Amino acid sequence: MSTPYDVLTRITNNRQSSQPAGQQCEMCSESIADEHQHVVNVAGRQLMCVCRGCYLLFTDSHAQLRYRAVPDRYLSFPDFALDRRIWELLQIPVGLAFFFRNSALDRTVAFYPGPAGATESDLELEAWSAINSADPRVGLLADDVEALLVRVPDDDQPDCYLVPIDACYEFVGGLRMLWRGFDGGQEAREFIDAFFDQLAARSTERPR
């Protein structure tokens, strides 16, 4: 069975390769545009490109389905209950990561960027539980299809957004191509700043 890291590597590699004209839905083979929607194969832990019709089959978040539609929801969490001390307890060596609950593994997983690409964190469950308890907005995330994307500057309040899981994969794929050295380099930092500016403009604020 593939690990979450295998899935992330496969998806980001696919994002970096050019898509042929007439890309097809991975469920019914109908032609789809470059801008299309996705579903998650929960058991296989795969992100699939689909047409609108197939996407709509799996939008019921309460149904026990093998596939789940990735929603198009963006929320910002101002004053998120996280500081540098708690971040260090999570054992994430850089100030950027995304978290989501994997229902197949029945736990929250985390990925962060680095010189070798995306790396799965050995998530400190006690520290994550403390964050979850301190900020109830974490409970808004839908399993498998939404993620908490967090950036923790050295001397500032963290930036925290609830985003679709496919947005995280696209972000990591783009960042991986630009990453240089241990800290990513100037080009990667500019890419991160621009991406978070776009998130701020697109997201609806959800106060505590």
Asked whether residue 162 carries a pLDDT value surpassing 60, the answer given is yes
Same-domain status, 101 and 169? yes
Name the residue among 208, 205, 4 with its Cα closest to residue 103: 4
Same-domain status, 88 and 63? no
Structure tokens at 127: 């520290």
Q: Of 121-135, 157-171, 188-202, which gets the smallest average pLDDT? A: 121-135
Domain boundary among 41, 69, 97: 69
106 Cβ contact partners less than 8 Å away, ≥ 6 residues apart: none
Per-residue model confidence (pLDDT) at position 18: 44
Range of the domain at 18: 4-69
Domain boundary among 49, 69, 89: 69
Same-domain status, 38 and 93? no
Asked whether residue 38 carries a pLDDT value surpassing 90, the answer given is yes
Q: Tell me what the mean pLDDT of segment 170-182 comes to.
A: 84
Query: How much is the pTM?
Result: 0.83
Same-domain status, 104 and 127? yes
CB 47 within 8 A of CB 165: yes
Q: Which residues of 76-107 are buried (b: 16+ CB within 10 A; e: fewer)?
A: bbeebbbeeebbeebebeebbbbbbbbbeeee
Helices (H), the chain: 4-16, 52-56, 84-89, 125-134, 165-178, 185-202
Note the maximum CA span of the chain: 50
Q: How many structural domains is the chain composed of?
A: 2
Same-domain status, 113 and 200? yes
Name the residue among 167, 50, 37 with its Cα closest to residue 98: 167
Q: Judging by beta carbons within 10 Å of its beta carbon (0-12, 13-18, 19+), is residue 201 exposed, middle or buried?
A: exposed
CB 99 within 8 A of CB 148: yes
Q: Tell me what the mean pLDDT of segment 165-188 comes to.
A: 86
Same-domain status, 37 and 98? no
Same-domain status, 118 and 184? yes
Domain boundary among 50, 69, 88: 69
Same-domain status, 172 and 116? yes
